[in-house]
Chain A
Amino acid sequence: MSDLTNLPIAAMRDGLNRKDFSAKELAEAHIRAVEGARTLNAFTVETPERALAAADAADKDFAAGTAKPLSGIPLGIKDLFCTEGVETSASSNILKGFVPQYESTISARLFADGAGMLGKLNLDEFAMGSSTETSACGDTINPWRAADGRNLVPGGSSGGSSTAVAARLVAGATGTDTGGSIRQPAAFTGITGFKPTYGRCSRWGTVAFASSLDQAGPMARDVRDCAILLQSMAGFDAKDSTSLELPVPDFEAALTGDLLGKRVGIPREYAIDNIPADITALWEAGRAMLRDAGAEIVDISLPHTKYALPTYYIIAPAEASSNLARYDGVRYGQRETPDGGNLIDMYEATRSAGFGDEVKRRIMIGTYVLSAGYYDAYYLQAQKVRTLIKRDFEQAFRECDVILTPTAPSAAFPLAEKMDDPVSMYLNDVFCVPASLAGLPAMSVPVGLNADGLPLGLQLIGDALDEEGLFNAGYALERAAGFSAQPEKWW
């Protein structure tokens, strides 16, 4: 990898401002990196022409002194964000060939701030998965390899994003997080991923998975880069009824690294069985790092933690079963019509051919838990437990300012290892899902390597709307951890 692609966004911004290099040079370096990394299958669509066009515009702006916050920064966009004129398939066969006639609010904001797009990034089909193996566009490979040389998953669903950032193919990427889809892949690839408070980032133009949980967020090299990207992504959008009509704080300004007077909560219920020792050790090391940064460590309790995952696996599929009803072969996407088939035959054939197994499974579960006679026992009960989970956090944040947990219960695992056992795959998100259900901001920071040399991350959860406090805690953790490992280039 070249020196240019190895720079964090903050350094790219400085270099461009100083005219150490041009946006065009920066774009070209990344385009070469993308072309050289096709083995990783991080992209569903490459758009070098868009990156170059943005670079040209950026160079003009730098010359004219009218540069914008992200002028010349080449990004990857998760293929869940609709991009005008560029195929958006959500890594599903059912949307193959779909070319949106509109730009998602998130990508539009990034482009308006001068960023370029290197391409669309692979994901689990409709963001349903934790390994990017449910993608209809093939598996994405983690740039980190197991000691025995086996290929590993990059996490998911934002696995194309995590891989592209970790392999230095893009300066940063967008992700979406419904139950850990930014944080878990970030942890699996040694990068930083940030999920803001529900409602900070507009959902308009982003293919929906589970509306009450979906949140966009940045994935990047480090905490500062995430702050820079979120600054552009976040903000009120009148087109999304759940968008928060609040001013966006200056996230980068919050990065002092000083945690004096802050209390870091350690939820005892997160100490679950069967967690590898190196993760438990990392979590303990994290406490010490934050204590060194001035924080007080306090024990807290989140009593309903163990119910979070089953709650999530009722609510998310229920919403998904309804959100995905629009993929019916009538207005866009693929259509299958059996010979002599009627409208219902067309629906059934289209959806059977278009959706992969995991998506079908979740649509089936979601349909079942909403159906007559089962709604109260499953969906309604889950929404009530969700209230209890939210209350747990409200209680906890009376005793602490930020919560520290592991991000995932393991490091990246080999491809195909968990594909036959949905429930064991779901357990990947056991630490991420509670914050999702409560709508809270949360991030994963890379903190160390395990015995096999694979990256591990810790999760920080902030109180609602306290992205500044969360960013600063992440920054303190990042400085203390000094994580600088990178995957060795083998692709």
Chain B
Amino acid sequence: MSVDADTVRKIAHLARIKLPDERVEPMMNELNNILDWVEQLREVDTADVEPTTAVIANRLRWREDEVTDGNVQEKVLANAPKPLHGFFAVPKVIE
């Protein structure tokens, strides 16, 4: 499988990375280089193999239902590029 220019544009948009037109072809070539190389995985027979879920045996621990966090508005907003009245401001979205 290899990607074409349209696919590269589509992927860039899905990933929310602006890709100037002159970068599309180079990016396409770089991606195809990598994809060609990972292609060899197809030759491995994985018919009866489960995908890895936990690499080291471990079980999911559950928290108690207690309020132990929050109430740190200052910390939450400390690095905000555009804090406004306790909110994060972003360019206006029209629904």
Direct contact of A and B (CB under 8 A): yes
Q: Please tell me if the beta carbons of B49 and A387 are within 8 angstroms of each other in the complex.
A: yes
19 CB-based A-B contacts, threshold 8 Å: A238-B61, A238-B63, A244-B58, A307-B40, A332-B81, A333-B79, A333-B81, A343-B91, A343-B93, A351-B16, A361-B31, A367-B11, A385-B46, A386-B52, A387-B46, A387-B52, A390-B52, A422-B33, A437-B55
Q: How far is the CB of B92 from chain A (nearest CB, A)?
A: 8
- Bound CA–CA A359/B45 (angstroms): 31
Q: Which listed residue, B7, B56, B72, B80, touches A331 by the CB 8 Å rule? A: B80
The stretch of A22-30, A255-263, A374-382 that contacts the partner chain: A374-382
Q: Give a binary string over A197-229; 1 marks a CB under 8 Å from any B CB, 0 the rest.
A: 111000000000000100000000000000000
- Bound CA–CA A382/B3 (angstroms): 19
Minimum CB distance partner of B10 in chain A: A371
Q: How far is the CB of A437 from chain B (nearest CB, A)?
A: 7
Q: How far is the CB of B51 from chain A (nearest CB, A)?
A: 3
Is A364's beta carbon under 8 Å from chain B?
Answer: yes
Is B60's beta carbon under 8 Å from chain A?
Answer: yes
Q: Beyond A385-B44, A388-B49, is A310–B38 a contact (Cβ under 8 Å)?
A: yes
Q: Please tell me if the beta carbons of A367 and B15 are within 8 angstroms of each other in the complex.
A: yes
Q: Please tell me if the beta carbons of A310 and B14 are within 8 angstroms of each other in the complex.
A: no
Q: Please tell me if the beta carbons of B14 and A371 are within 8 angstroms of each other in the complex.
A: yes
Q: Please tell me if the beta carbons of B79 and A381 are within 8 angstroms of each other in the complex.
A: no
Chain A hits for B8, CB < 8 A: 364
Is B42's beta carbon under 8 Å from chain A?
Answer: yes
Is B78's beta carbon under 8 Å from chain A?
Answer: yes
Is B85's beta carbon under 8 Å from chain A?
Answer: no
Total inter-chain residue pairs, C-beta < 8 Å = 164
Q: Which listed residue, B41, B75, B78, B92, touches A385 by the CB 8 Å rule? A: B41
Minimum CB distance partner of B52 in chain A: A386
- Bound CA–CA A336/B24 (angstroms): 21
Chain B hits for A468, CB < 8 A: none
- Bound CA–CA A131/B45 (angstroms): 34
Chain B hits for A101, CB < 8 A: 72, 75, 78-79
Q: Beyond A245-B61, A313-B38, is A388–B44 a contact (Cβ under 8 Å)?
A: yes
Q: Please tell me if the beta carbons of A307 and B44 are within 8 angstroms of each other in the complex.
A: yes
Is A397's beta carbon under 8 Å from chain B?
Answer: no
Q: Please tell me if the beta carbons of A367 and B14 are within 8 angstroms of each other in the complex.
A: yes
Q: Beyond A344-B16, A351-B16, is A368–B11 a contact (Cβ under 8 Å)?
A: yes
- Greatest chain A CB density within 10 A among B11, B42, B75 is at B11
- Bound CA–CA A111/B74 (angstroms): 25
Q: Beyond A384-B46, A387-B51, is A332–B80 a contact (Cβ under 8 Å)?
A: yes
Is A128's beta carbon under 8 Å from chain B?
Answer: no
Chain B hits for A383, CB < 8 A: 51-52
- Greatest chain A CB density within 10 A among B16, B80, B88 is at B16
Minimum CB distance partner of A340 in chain B: B91
- Bound CA–CA A374/B79 (angstroms): 37
Q: Give a binary string over B56-69; 1 marks a CB under 8 Å from any A CB, 0 the rest.
A: 10101101000000
Is A365's beta carbon under 8 Å from chain B?
Answer: yes
Q: How far is the CB of A57 from chain B (nearest CB, A)?
A: 25
- Bound CA–CA A330/B91 (angstroms): 10
Q: Which listed residue, B17, B63, B81, B91, touches A342 by the CB 8 Å rule? A: B91
- Bound CA–CA A383/B51 (angstroms): 5
Minimum CB distance partner of A423 in chain B: B37
Q: Chain A, interface size: which category?
A: 35 or more
Q: Please tell me if the beta carbons of B91 and A423 are within 8 angstroms of each other in the complex.
A: no
Q: Please tell me if the beta carbons of B55 and A334 are within 8 angstroms of each other in the complex.
A: no
Q: Please tell me if the beta carbons of A307 and B46 are within 8 angstroms of each other in the complex.
A: no
Q: Please tell me if the beta carbons of A423 and B33 are within 8 angstroms of each other in the complex.
A: yes
Q: Please tell me if the beta carbons of B55 and A351 are within 8 angstroms of each other in the complex.
A: no
Q: Please tell me if the beta carbons of A364 and B79 are within 8 angstroms of each other in the complex.
A: no
Q: How far is the CB of B11 from chain A (nearest CB, A)?
A: 5
Chain A hits for B60, CB < 8 A: 241
- Bound CA–CA A456/B7 (angstroms): 42
- Greatest chain A CB density within 10 A among B46, B52, B63 is at B52
Q: Beyond A364-B27, A365-B34, A437-B55, is A99–B79 a contact (Cβ under 8 Å)?
A: yes
- Greatest chain B CB density within 10 A among A245, A304, A349, A384 is at A384
Q: Please tell me if the beta carbons of A364 and B31 are within 8 angstroms of each other in the complex.
A: yes
- Bound CA–CA A347/B13 (angstroms): 10
Q: How far is the CB of B22 from chain A (nearest CB, A)?
A: 13
Is B12's beta carbon under 8 Å from chain A?
Answer: yes
Is B84's beta carbon under 8 Å from chain A?
Answer: no
Q: How far is the CB of B5 from chain A (nearest CB, A)?
A: 13
Q: Please tell me if the beta carbons of A364 and B15 are within 8 angstroms of each other in the complex.
A: yes
Chain A hits for B76, CB < 8 A: 331
Chain B hits for A439, CB < 8 A: 55-56
- Greatest chain A CB density within 10 A among B50, B90, B93 is at B90
Chain B hits for A437, CB < 8 A: 55
Q: Please tell me if the beta carbons of A387 and B50 are within 8 angstroms of each other in the complex.
A: yes
Q: Please tell me if the beta carbons of A363 and B91 are within 8 angstroms of each other in the complex.
A: no
Chain B hits for A367, CB < 8 A: 11, 14-15
Q: Give a binary string over A447-460; 1 marks a CB under 8 Å from any B CB, 0 the rest.
A: 00000000000000
Minimum CB distance partner of B83 in chain A: A331
